[in-house]
Structure 1
């Protein structure tokens, strides 16, 4: 059933709003996906904070105007599902990659991060990006390391003195 002009405007506004708030996006072909599998994909996406949209490419191009994902417009051809990462940079790529492990039905075409479009070969790299919590943990460990090393070094001076005194005591007792 064809969409009316008002419905098209509504779809463009909705996708534009999602794109304006997203960190990254993945466009993937979805040939051969059954309804149950699509439901499973949508459920996995919701759990990871990813918004999935299936829209006509012409409407997606209009929705991307003025957003970081305008660079994807040239590659929007064929039946595509758009995955937008709303919580962290790599979540959309992880959802597509994880779904492909089981079903091999999604064929990534474009990966967009920070206003740049990349080919499907970058999906793996983007999927490996840490989540916000992982990035904070890495940062905190990096910040904690020098303090920990300083404390160990400071503790070693009296420790070495105590071991030296104990060795002298043991030598005198043995003599």
Structure 2
């Protein structure tokens, strides 16, 4: 019979897996308590960094319906960053911390139900944050609208300029045509 505290721990981990937009699995062997505290602080509100027991986490991951690839990563001392906000920001935070603190190793993860390798998580960290990407899309849309408005505003102006040029050309050619037209000869009597 399972102990109530373990059942509660599995239920809590399962809830973390299902309610998070992603989870990044790390090995923290060699990090001090102060370094783990610093990592938690650096991730801020975007992620919750938890040191987990592999056996209980495997049960929770299975109950949450995660892929078997993830279950194979639970070897050695494991910690998981459960992502609540922007996955890119969390991946960047973990990567930067791992560069400064080599004992932290990213083992893999799951983002939106899809298993991710450490390389894929690093590629994710290379992306711009969600806010920056949205700002770029908004800027591109605004620029497109501005160009369309400029084209539509230019049409009447260009049409008026073309009409004026045609009128001037016609006015120029009418007097020239009158001068160059042969004079009608009057019939000579003779």
Could you say whether these structures have the same fold, taking a TM-score greater than 0.5 normalized by the shorter chain as the test?
A: yes
Query: CA offset at residue 98 of structure 1?
Result: 1.6
Instruction: Tell me the equivalent position of 2:104.
Output: 106
Q: How far did 1:30 drift?
A: 0.9
Structure 2 residue ranges without an equivalent (≥5): 166-190
Is the 8 Å Cα contact of residues 88 and 130 (structure 2) preserved in structure 1?
A: no
**Which aligned runs of 4 or more in structure 1 are off by greater than 6 angstroms?**
none
Aligned pair 1:55/2:52, yes or no? yes
TM-score (norm 1): 0.78
Contact residue 24 and residue 90 of structure 1 kept, 8 A: no
Provide TM-score, normalisation by structure 2: 0.73
Aligned partner of residue 124 in structure 2, secondary structure? helix
Structure 1: tracts of 5 or more residues without a match? 166-175
Q: Shift in Å at residue 81 of structure 1?
A: 0.9
Structure 1 residue 52, shift from structure 2 partner: 1.0
Aligned-pair distance for 1:12? 1.0
- State how many pairs are aligned: 160
- Contact kept? 1:52, 1:82, Cα under 8 Å: yes
Task: Write the distance in 1 (CA, Å) between the matches of 2:87 and 2:97.
Answer: 18
Report the CA distance between 1:32 and its aligned residue: 0.8
Q: 2:185 matched to which residue of 1? A: none
| Aligned partners of 1:85 and 1:92 also within 8 Å | yes
Alignment partner, residue 144 of structure 1: 142
Structure having the higher Rg:
2
Looking at structure 1, the residues matched to 128 and 66 of structure 2 have their Cα atoms a distance apart, in angstroms, of: 21
Aligned ranges 1:136-175 → 2 under 5 Å:
136-156=134-154, 158=157, 161=161
Q: How many Å separate the matches in 2 of 1:129 and 1:65?
A: 30
Q: d(CA) in 2 for partners of 1:128 and 1:21?
A: 25
- Could you tell me whether the CA contact under 8 Å between 1:25 and 1:69 is conserved in 2? no
Cross-structure match for 1:5: 3
